[in-house]
Structure 1
Amino acid sequence: MMSSSSAKKSRPKVSTSHTEVELTVEDLSKQAGVSVRNIRAYQTAGLMPPPRLKGRLGIYDHEHLGKLELIRDLRQQGFRLEAIKDMLDKTPEGAWSEYSLISDLFSTTFFTVEAPKRKALSEMAAHWQTSATPEQKERLSRNGLYRRIGPDEVEMLSPALERIGIQLAELNVPLDTVLDLQDELIKHTRIIARAYVEQLFLTLAEGIAAAEAEAKAKGIPVDPAAIAPLTAMFERLRPLAVGSISAAFPVVLQQEFDQAIQQQLKRSHTG
């Protein structure tokens, strides 16, 4: 399977705004970074619908672009066309851009932590066509994912969350709602992370600490390599921890959605 880090270095980032667009196949190729030849091949394989004809000219829109982005990401992760077609058949219509974003984020953050990205606090609400209020800036500064490095500058420790926020802005989700969700996300994922660390590392760490204390009592220098088992275990744990959350959350989210719908229907019938 292709390395995600090497596959994504030169990949173009395109806007996922659902503003109505008309693209020729050459335009589509340029925006998505996919050759015209591959676009034709994806159409022949049934992965993409044909363009709308405008006279004799084939016209593509944002739905084609979003689906092509998703196909591109999955191909770069090593998926075969048959597997991609099966995935696309199960993807909700019109959600191609959102699924492409999540595919990208999952493949690039599954094994490692992203490099921080600097950004001015004054620009944090730009995608909501407004400026962040002092209260909103303060929330961004204290939630643990933004490190203040200047009067109006922060380091975003998870640039991926910003890209998800941009998608939510395009879906007209208010900034305060996004901040509320982010606060809840951080609170609960921190609890999960702490549980993983305490339950999986505590015993091993206590054993290492006891060995170090015994060595120190005997005047034996502590071996710096003693921490190596913890580091090695953590590197093996990271993808399992991330994977367990991604495996459980869709099920729980669907259950909560179904329950909320049922409650709303009951209120409507009794109201």
Structure 2
Amino acid sequence: MAAPSLNIPAIETVLESLRRGQRQLARNPRAAVDAAVRQLLSLGRVREERPARETYRIDDLARASNVTVRNIRAYQERGLLHPPRREGRVAIFDDSHLSRLKIITSMLERGYTSGHITEMLTAWESGRDLADVLGLESALVPPRLEDAPVTMTLAQVRELTLDKESLQLYIDAGLIEVKGAKALVRRPELLRSFAEMRGFGMPTTALIKLHSEVAMAVDDISRALVNEAVRQVGDRFLNVTDPSVAEVGELVATLTRFRELAMGAVVGTLGESLERTIEDLLAGYLSLAVTPAEDDQVG
């Protein structure tokens, strides 16, 4: 089975960059491989033939990318955006800059900090341009998370966590990472649910303990699902010593679809289980409420 929905040239470039990135692999092999995995799972549809690169002055680039001139210059200063070509005193940008700006904007919207983005860009410096790796913006289709990380101001975080003690507990649990005047909230919807649960009288310590227990149980479920899938169909992918681009593409497509199917199945099963559990609890509670007292029972 082929993987027609994937960008084969981009997959090939990711693999080649990983093979050629010996410096990154030697220094931090897990990070390099993880970065390649994230890029592979982000590749979506087939890219059309790329036209000749267009060129832009900085004002034109700002209009095309919906990024202000001020931010473009700031990205250049931070090393996020590679230098433009110079024609005299005029800076000339091209569609590789436009593509990278779209990537930077997308990652910022998904909660990455500039530091994270710099690390990811640097990881691919030994290979081709990141715009080529990702196949321009047409290949930038990241997996959507229901509770994706968000960067907030400290004031917003304090409002979300309700008090200083809870904030510290969330930081200790790895749910929040404070960075100067900002904070990365890894599960904002979860913390909003916690805030509402606290309104019912549940302390933050109990909520975090419950979250940890549920997370471990969900990890067990994930391993069971994936391990069974590997047992059933893994031979098609995992017994290959030198996989072709097409085989990697098929594996990425299969795993991406499996993730969607498994999430639907687990969410449905969890919903049904919660419904039964709540119904049983309520039935038991009501049965106690309507049981007649001994004096009222007919002898």
Sort the TM-score into its range (normalised by shorter chain). Answer: 0.3 to 0.5
Q: Which structure exhibits the higher relative contact order, with contacts defined as CA atoms closer than 8 Å and separated by 6 or more residues?
A: 2
| TM-score (normalised: structure 2) | 0.39
Rg: which structure is higher? 2
| TM-score of the two chains, using structure 1 as the length reference | 0.42
